[in-house]
Structure 1
Amino acid sequence: MNKKRRIHAVITGLAVLCCLFGFMACKPQDKSKEAASETVKEIKKTVVTTVAPKRVPVFYSGMQENGTIEAVEQVTVKSKVSGRLEQMLVHQGDRVEAGQTVALVEHKSIQARLESAKADLVVSQAQLAQAKVTLADAQKEADRYEKLFKDGYCTEQQLTQRRTTLRTAQAGLAVSQANIAKNKASIGEIMVDLDEATIKAPIAGVISDDFSHTPGEMINTDTLIVEVVGMDRLYARVNVAEQYAHRISKGMKVFISLLGDKKGPYEGSVWRIQPTVDTATRTTRVDALANDSSAMRPGMFATVFFAEEKMENPVVLPADAVKRSNGDHFIWLKIGDKATRLIVKPGLKNGNETAIEDVIPEGARIIITGGDNLKDGDLVVEANHQAAASS
């Protein structure tokens, strides 16, 4: 009997061990089945990318052209006198004001001419004073002989001599007056030369070129001294193809963008339109004046957008997000984890963006990729969420 009990106990123990091992073996299989089930559910979600709705105050549509920034005022200054360059007072990059001295031409010889002309004027003025005295005496003598001749106390020949003397005195006075005028004119010319020996900036701006002048070199009236560029008024010059030129009008709003600039674009307006077409390039020149040119420099590359039409307070989205089917335009929205089809009325288009006036539900995101085979109510997941889950 004891032997039977021992056998029974052994059999019971073996049974317990089998159950235990069976339970442990079955547990991972249940988890694997659950994981596989979850994966199947996840596979049923369409992977999409989305953007948040963006509403802007004003959306413009139009055309875009490339151009170059130029200055309204740009002057190359030449010397108006010949001589030796005495001093160069400014250099490339310096800012100057209108009337500021930029260079000096040696003017000792001009000063000597001026002193000589002033001395000649003094002599002429003395000669004029003498001529006036001579004329006054001749006038008195002629008047006296007129009376004597009338009373019969002198001959006609004597009267004629006095009249001739008077005319000579009058001529001498005229010559003296002419000499004074000539002396003054000469002094004026020399003063101009003296003034122009001091070369001044005609406008306010920046010295864009000083032509590498050094004191002591000889210059003449053909010598370029400096180039001054006014920086306060800059514009973008573009060449518009003739088939598009009719779309541009004077005063049209523009937006000017610069390479590498993150603050722009900068507003402006069409300032000038060339009335003719260049037969060589088949383009028309258009100048767009910037309202704020502080970030611009002449010679910069610029992109000019001509605003032809505008919408106020629209939602702006990538143009590819708008689909079309059976004559309807629609977009796909991600609301929660489901896709919703929304019929929209597309408005203006600008490059890769389009504007719509429709109301987008609160919290919805616009599906931009992955929506080609969607149906209303399909489960969707963001691409970045999918990637995070996979990792």
Structure 2
Amino acid sequence: MLTSEQLIKIRRDLHQIPELALHEYQTQKYLLQVIGNFNQKYIETRTCSELPTVILVRVSGKKPQKTIGYRADIDGLPVQEQTGLPFASHNQGQMHACGHDIHMTVALGILDYFCEHQPQDNLLFFFQPAEESESGAKKAYEAGIFTGKWRPDEFFALHDTPDLPTGTIGCRLGTLFAGTTEINIDLYGKDGHAAYPQQANDMVVAAAALIEQIQTIISRSIDPIAGGVITIGKVRAGTVRNAIAGHAHLEGTIRGLTQKMIEKIDQRLREITQGIAHSYNAKVDLQLNQGGYWPVENDPQITNEFINYMKENPQINYQEMQPAMTGEDFGYLLAQIPGTMFWLGVDDDAQLHSATFNPHEEAIEVGIKAVVGFLKSHM
């Protein structure tokens, strides 16, 4: 069994080699080395040509009634680390600023336990690339890697958070993370001289009208109790003050707590952009890209069992959570396979995706024990 010192070393080793989406080759090599040192009696490990940095590890159960999946994301972020830690990232401009090094280490600790203590049910550990971008969960599912004995009946995953005390488990029934959709809009009119607006078609004016109307979608088309977000974060038009811009480009994001809500927002956005096109005699090109970043909607029955276990265990500090508007591609998997995602507190002043994010490593062992205990009770 991995000791506390070994777990911390693993986490720090991983922290030094963050890699971006779909390029996690060094990370995969390190994980395979660690897994290769575990008891191999009950496990089978495979990689996938369809998604080269994936790792799947299957643990055979004693008397399996189902296969329980556990996901750990393995990619880093394009962030230049500024922690000053002796084990800071060796890769320029790349960092585990979202704590995926913690996620991987917890998963390895859970796997190590069940390599030594054969579980009742089968377990499937999914070390997933490209969570931060490229929708790795969706790519893996669509590549067909979860078939036959490699398909879980349920899926679990955690995400660390600096907003909870170290080792605290946070969860909720319903949506934990919002789904997200990227918005790209191009408006095409006609360039012209500022002194002769009648001879041009001004896309700055059209874009301004569009932005104003977009802000009515949440306030007038979405249930205020349900909530949602549309942000236009980037606007580009024109080249000089005394010329009318014939083209404007907008970029933004949609956040919604259910897939139905996101689809409704998408539809209203399509209708409004079509209206602007007619009103301003413009061509409007709207591109909506959700990829695999669906809402993380926890399964009611499984999640209720998970929450009850955490609440009733005196060694676990459990906290009920509110939904977060951050995105996570584990939501795509939960739309195909029922399961639960939860938070693991790592208590830090810096936020996720920050260059100074430094999670408390004491959370690793707490997370391992909590998940191992729950899985044993759940089999």
Q: TM-score, normalising length from structure 2? A: 0.22
Give the number of the structure whose residues are more often strand, by fraction.
Answer: 1
Highest RCO, 1 vs 2 (Cα 8 Å, sep ≥ 6) = 1
Greater Cα radius of gyration, structure 1 or 2: 1
